[in-house]
């Protein structure tokens, strides 16, 4: 069953936008988020027939020693001081910028592209659209989000809002505690895990003016990519990507707003971040 206006929205893929926004917001917290981010009102507007309190979903994996990384050394830590010996407790960590649940800023792949210190605060709040490809990824680890997946989503849940953060739920996060299974490398060392297809990213950039994409795997591109076309296209369009996103199955397909808590690392091409979804 399609949402009201969905068929018209899909028809407008080649004709341009024309969907009205709803005005109601859920609760004071939702109103604050919507005020900070133009465009979140549509994503957070509840059905008029019922009220619900805003819930918070943590989309962040625990940052831990040994967390699987695409390349380089996994995070490592050591205790610097302890309460027993020093009266307080502190650790020292060693890790690459692209460890754990993290952001890829445009400058990660684009010479002269914006680094995390140049991202505006309003860019770090975005309405979420969760694209579920778990069924296909279960039988094909090289599965990719396609334009057909996006159209199927819109037929069921409505048009992807402008400025959205589009998140792939492949179910791959369930493997995160087993680095070998998470990377799923073949005998030649090529990884096999899901990601976004280039055509889907092109659709989202040209037709939906998205803010970014996110995946529950180690790379925006499928693991078997050798050319990183999705990274180059998305970051080259001055958008950001999120990798190793957690708990996407706990998030509704539509209606939440995500806060991207990336630290403004000096000269940072990205970095670990705390992702929280409201609504």
Residues with catalytic function: 108
Q: Give the closest residue to 103 by CA, choosing from 258, 222, 279.
A: 258
Which of helix, strand or coil describes residue 120?
coil
Q: Other CB atoms closer than 10 Å to residue 225's CB: what's the count?
A: 18
Which residues partner with 274 through β-bridges?
Answer: 261
CA distances from 216 to 42, 49, 73 (A): 25, 33, 20
Specify the DSSP class assigned to residue 22: P
Specify burial of residue 18 (Cβ count, 10 A radius: 0-12, 13-18, 19+): exposed
Q: What are phi and psi of 100, to 5 degrees?
A: 65, -160
Which of helix, strand or coil describes residue 83?
helix
Q: H-helix or E-strand containing 276?
A: strand 270-278
């Amino acid at each position: 069953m399609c949402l009201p206006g969905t068929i018209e929205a899909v028809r407008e893929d080649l004709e341009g936008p024309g969907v009205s926004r709803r005005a109601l917001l859920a609760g004071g917290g939702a109103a604050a988020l919507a005020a900070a981010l133009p465009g979140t009102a549509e994503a957070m507007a509840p059905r008029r027939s019922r009220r619900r309190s805003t819930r918070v979903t943590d989309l962040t994996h625990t940052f831990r020693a040994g967390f699987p990384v695409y390349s380089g050394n996994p995070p490592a830590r050591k205790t610097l001081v302890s309460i027993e010996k020093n009266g307080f407790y502190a650790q020292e960590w060693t890790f690459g910028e692209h460890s754990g649940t993290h952001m890829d800023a445009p400058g990660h792949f684009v010479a002269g592209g914006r680094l995390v210190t140049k991202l505006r605060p309003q860019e770090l709040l975005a309405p979420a659209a969760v694209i579920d490809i778990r069924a296909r990824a279960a039988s094909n680890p090289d599965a990719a989000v396609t334009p057909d997946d996006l159209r199927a989503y819109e037929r069921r849940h409505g048009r992807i809002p402008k400025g959205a953060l589009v998140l792939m739920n492949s179910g791959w996060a369930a493997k995160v505690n087993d680095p070998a299974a998470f990377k799923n490398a073949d005998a030649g060392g090529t990884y096999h895990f899901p990601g976004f297809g280039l055509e889907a990213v092109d659709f989202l950039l040209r037709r939906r003016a998205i803010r970014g994409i996110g995946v529950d795997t180690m790379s925006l591109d499928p693991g078997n990519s050798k050319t990183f076309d999705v990274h180059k296209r998305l970051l080259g369009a001055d958008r950001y990507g999120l990798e190793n996103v957690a708990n996407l199955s706990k998030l509704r397909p539509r209606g939440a707003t995500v806060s991207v808590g990336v630290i403004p690392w000096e000269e940072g091409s990205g970095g670990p971040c705390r992702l929280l979804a409201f609504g």
